[in-house]
Amino acid sequence: MSDNPHNIDTIYWNRLKNSDSKALGFLYDKYVDKLFTAAIHTTNNRELAKDSVQEVFIEIWNYRHTISNIQYSQSYLTKVLRSILLKKLKKENPSHQYQLQESFISPEQNIESIIISRDADKEKKKKLKDAIAKLTIRQKQVLELHFSEGLSYEQIAEKLRINYQSVNNLAFRSILRLRNLMFSFIFIVTF
């Protein structure tokens, strides 16, 4: 048998489906640190991150008999983690809309690089907020309805009682203006 990690994981997933708790231990030992890193990347709350990671393994144990064939363990476990984190975050703050990143933290990334990345993200968000403040009220309204509420341009036109082409033009000009303002920020920061 080859030493391919996918083949080894497949063996342990099959054992887990047959209620082998040592298989769960193997998967836990192999992926717990990576999952914790991914959870910390999503939330600053270490306790929430730890609890969510623990819950991943509780869930896969509880639903072990119904788990289909898993080809990519890390990807599968990350999706379970994202689902758990999303539920917990929504429970903490039901009015907030959360978007969890699809990407997984690579093993090469460490906590320090995540913190640096998060700080850069905060700075970008601040600059985006400042850029949005420079838009007209109508431009902000169109972007809010489209991106936050998920309305189509047709629905926005109906809601604002303006024609579709005006909504389309407003959205286009707003996004172009934001790109220009954000590009100026990135250019200043990098040079």
For 128-144, write each residue's pLDDT tens digit. Answer: 788 888 888 998 898 88
CA distance 127 to 112: 23
The pLDDT confidence band at residue 108, using thresholds 50, 70 and 90, is very low
pLDDT for the residue numbered 37 = 87
pLDDT for the residue numbered 7 = 74
At residue 90, does pLDDT exceed 50?
yes
Q: Is the residue at 124 inside a domain?
A: yes
pLDDT for the residue numbered 116 = 63
pLDDT for the residue numbered 102 = 44
Q: Is the residue at 100 inside a domain?
A: no
pLDDT for the residue numbered 118 = 64
How much is the average pLDDT of 5-23?
Answer: 86
Domain count, the chain: 2
Residue 85 and residue 24 in one domain: yes
Q: Is the residue at 42 inside a domain?
A: yes
pLDDT for the residue numbered 1 = 43
User: 3-class SS at 85?
Assistant: helix
Tokens (6 digits) for 4: 């391919």
CA distance 41 to 122: 13
How much is the average pLDDT of 15-21?
Answer: 91
At residue 157, does pLDDT exceed 80?
yes
- The residue among 60, 92, 124 that closes a domain is 92
The pLDDT confidence band at residue 73, using thresholds 50, 70 and 90, is confident
Residue 183 and residue 115 in one domain: yes
pLDDT for the residue numbered 178 = 81
Threshold 0.85, pTM exceeds: no
Q: Which long-range contacts (CB under 8 A, 24 or more apart) does 114-120 make?
A: 114/37, 114/40, 114/41, 118/41, 118/44
**pLDDT, averaged across the chain:** 79
Task: Identify the domain containing residue 126 by its residue range.
Answer: 111-190
Under DSSP, the state recorded for 64 is: G
How much is the average pLDDT of 93-104?
Answer: 51
